[in-house]
Copies of this chain bind each other. A is one copy, B any other.
């Protein structure tokens, strides 16, 4: 696995249980996935990545940022790369993502690629005067995303943009955000977890409810959509489809990620097969596991920032005493404002109670 963040870290437990030798190329010493880090180096350097690849059977990722020339070098050297460069390109470039989704007939917000202030102003004029501007590459957790009301508000980004320009999208007046996760293996088998509802704060995932309450027909529609996207884009591993539900009950695709995703962390404690185990199975082309939930409701709440006075474990005496059933996950990171340092998941038979328990437990790790 290239990348030593918390997604790599959370892949280690199922790798241990299944007896799969997971090796990680981490960015730095002491990464979140340090226990499995067999190499430390720059994932944008082809020689580093090729050296790491020689010791493994298949390469996968905990982020989308490995450059295409490095991916091409891996393929040229005969390595298995899952998901492959063609699929990853769609997750790496938001303009390409919009082009491919549009070509597939997938429902997306109105969008355009804009290369100058004039085009940006024209889009704004056609969409009520406000829109979302995104840098096509490198954004995550709200970075590289800006709501603008005039072309001048994106001047800095336009000046720094490449030939493809910036992505501009209509500001969708969504009722709520949803996410549909599926996993696909090279043989074509696809398995879907239940559709979930997500709450974002400042562009960062804050809370996930599984399954999405009162989703009705959206459940089947989201699943069919994600399965089709996974198949058409030839995704291997977990595909996360972030969705808007519009006030009139339609789904629009917001973003795609081709790796385990924050909106799937609840599966560790709330599904027969977690997204991390499933990703491993998928990239090894093993039969996929049952993604069924193990409880009527699961609610995951992120721990953002973490305790002011130390890492998460310093609060365990109080947090664990308050609720014996909540599952606490710490990513082994020092606290820092806004940083994802862990999450908690509660499962239960009643949604209100389950959500209250998850929020209360997460609260022990704030400030």
Q: Report A's interface with B, CB cutoff 8 A.
A: 9-10, 12-14, 16-20, 35-36, 191, 268, 272-273, 281, 286-290, 292, 294-295, 311-313, 316-317, 320-321, 324-325, 327-332, 342, 347
Contacts and interface: CB of A to CB of B under 8 A. Distances in A.
Contact of A16 (B12, B20, B272, B273): B12
A16 B18 contact: no
A47 B12 CA distance: 32
A30 to B, nearest CB: 12
25 contacts: A9-B16, A10-B17, A12-B13, A13-B14, A13-B16, A13-B17, A17-B268, A17-B328, A18-B313, A18-B329, A19-B311, A19-B312, A19-B313, A19-B329, A19-B330, A19-B331, A19-B342, A35-B35, A191-B324, A273-B324, A286-B316, A287-B324, A288-B320, A289-B320, A294-B295
A132 to B, nearest CB: 35
A289 B281 CA distance: 29
Contacts of A292: 325
A363 to B, nearest CB: 16
Contacts of A313: 18-20
Contacts of A312: 19
A317 B347 CA distance: 31
Contacts of A316: 18, 286-287
Contacts of A16: 9-10, 12-13, 35
A290 B35 contact: no
A17 B20 CA distance: 18
Given A16-B35, A18-B329, A272-B347, 6 more contacts: A20-B313, A191-B324, A286-B316, A287-B316, A287-B321, A289-B324
A317 B19 contact: no
Nearest to A341: B19
Contact of A317 (B9, B17, B287, B331): B287
Q: Which 7 pairs, one residue from A and one from B, show the smallest C-beta to C-beta distance?
A: A19-B330, A13-B13, A287-B320, A290-B325, A287-B321, A290-B324, A19-B332
B324 A288 contact: yes
Contacts of A18: 313, 316, 328-330
B329 A17 contact: yes
A316 B287 CA distance: 8
Nearest to A33: B16
Nearest to A36: B35
A286 B35 contact: no
Nearest to A281: B320
A332 B286 CA distance: 18
A23 to B, nearest CB: 11
Nearest to A191: B324
Contacts of A19: 311-313, 329-332, 342
Nearest to A277: B327
A24 to B, nearest CB: 11
A286 B314 CA distance: 11
